[in-house]
Structure 1
């Protein structure tokens, strides 16, 4: 086989005609185009149309649609075609201004537990115990995520304050009596354990988006630290940041 010259387009992931040949890239373009309205979400996804739209091969389109079907984004049916089945839910990265019309929090469990070094450091408290409240994120009767929150026992409001529209601005104000300040965020990935899988209605070891956050008030005092797990096939985390 003749080696591809270093300056040939294929050596940079393209083709001799500059076409999209990566199924991963085509998959990204299809899903983003649907979410942003460039492709109608209720329109059939014809291979020929996608090939023309993204100037790509039939093989790349088919591979991309197969990948999207494996995540539940589209459904492929023989002699029927391919259609979008689930657009997913966008959740702001820090939850401060979540779409309260669609995403809700429901309290599952609350208790007082022994304090431990991680929470002592994050919340700057030496109390022997802390409050733990576990809630789930719900949209259209589907559970999208699970949150475990730790905070000082001096906040003794009823956990019903944490149920309802998922806006941390209102939670910090109504439950903690605080004005929102900075949020320290860490994003990663995880696999569902037995408990999380049962709550989210997914299989054990299914891929999850993990998020850890510590919320501060406007004076820089830590309020609570949380551990979130979201369904990787249903949730996207978004934010707007300045490059300045």
Structure 2
């Protein structure tokens, strides 16, 4: 057998092999680039795009989803679309039935920034869809750990527990520790008026705490749903929920309320925005 290169010409052989490897690599990159221009092949990426469309209302509740339309509008392969739809069905967002097709069972509800729940006041897409039940309201002593979390020295707070429903389906379970001198009965009356009108958070804060709304700080974590919360939210025990710790403040920066809300992770998206700021010119 004739060798393509003499045994002592190792440099020439190495150079030849490098050129072959570079040619193969360039061919692979070109193929991947051409494919990427035409098709999305990842079910996860298709899942993210469809879920975003449901959250933004471009795929409304009770609308039948066409696989072919999704393939064309997303630039995705049929296999990726089908797997993504199955993932959303497993989330409980979609229902898939032979011959009947695929439809959105419920929408993904947006809860904005420091808002207690969805923006349900007049003129918003969720107007009239939110109902809130007060499960408990009572004055309790404020233990040291609660005072540290609030950053305030107080002997007692009003404990408020509420269950929010969207379109009749459980959406969130909320416990608030309110810094107020009002009695439970007085505070309950103020709350009920807000639950008939659902005004913006600035109006709610003024009514409940008698001071201007200054903002909020919050942290969101994914946790397993415990037994009582699971029962109230109509979820399996251990199912994922979004737990949000929210500290609401007045315009002077003093805390008004510390709350913990369990949101159904399959139905809620926490939405916020950050605007770029430009440094002032000298």
Same fold, judged at TM 0.5 (above)? yes
Alignment of 1:130-149 (within 5 A): 130-149=157-176
Aligned counterpart in structure 2 of residue 31 of structure 1, from 48, 51, 64: 51
The alpha-carbon distance between structure 1 residues 178 and 55, as it changes in their structure 2 partners (threshold 3 A), is same
Aligned to 1:150: 177
Aligned to 1:173: 206
The alpha-carbon distance between structure 1 residues 113 and 24, as it changes in their structure 2 partners (threshold 3 A), is same
Once residues 113 and 84 of structure 1 are traced to their aligned partners in structure 2, the CA distance between those partners, rounded to angstroms, is 43
Q: Unmatched 5+ residue regions in structure 2?
A: 1-23, 122-126, 278-282
Aligned to 2:259: 226
**Once the 2 structures are TM-superposed, how far is the Cα of residue 37 of structure 1 from its aligned partner?**
4.9
Deviation per CA, 1:132-180: give whole Å up to 9, x if none: 1111222222220011111235233332322312743233111111210
C-alpha RMSD over aligned residues: 2.7
1:187–1:209 Cα contact (<8 Å) kept: yes
Runs of 4+ in 1 over 4 A off after TM superposition: 4-10, 37-43
Give the 3-state SS of the residue equivalent to 2:176 in structure 1: strand
Alignment of 1:109-124 (within 5 A): 109-124=136-151
Q: Unmatched 5+ residue regions in structure 1?
A: none
Once residues 188 and 236 of structure 1 are traced to their aligned partners in structure 2, the CA distance between those partners, rounded to angstroms, is 12
**Once the 2 structures are TM-superposed, how far is the Cα of residue 41 of structure 1 from its aligned partner?**
5.1
2:60–2:104 Cα contact (<8 Å) kept: no
Once residues 202 and 189 of structure 1 are traced to their aligned partners in structure 2, the CA distance between those partners, rounded to angstroms, is 15
Aligned length in residues: 239
1:94–1:183 Cα contact (<8 Å) kept: yes
Once residues 205 and 150 of structure 1 are traced to their aligned partners in structure 2, the CA distance between those partners, rounded to angstroms, is 25
Once residues 144 and 214 of structure 2 are traced to their aligned partners in structure 1, the CA distance between those partners, rounded to angstroms, is 24
Once residues 60 and 170 of structure 2 are traced to their aligned partners in structure 1, the CA distance between those partners, rounded to angstroms, is 26
Task: Determine if the alignment matches structure 1 residue 53 to structure 2 residue 73.
Answer: yes
Aligned counterpart in structure 1 of residue 88 of structure 2, from 61, 64, 68: 68
Give the 3-state SS of the residue equivalent to 1:158 in structure 2: helix
Aligned counterpart in structure 1 of residue 35 of structure 2, from 4, 7, 17: 17
> TM-score under structure 1 normalisation?
0.86
Once residues 145 and 29 of structure 1 are traced to their aligned partners in structure 2, the CA distance between those partners, rounded to angstroms, is 25
> TM-score under structure 2 normalisation?
0.75
Structure 1 or 2: more strand by fraction: 1
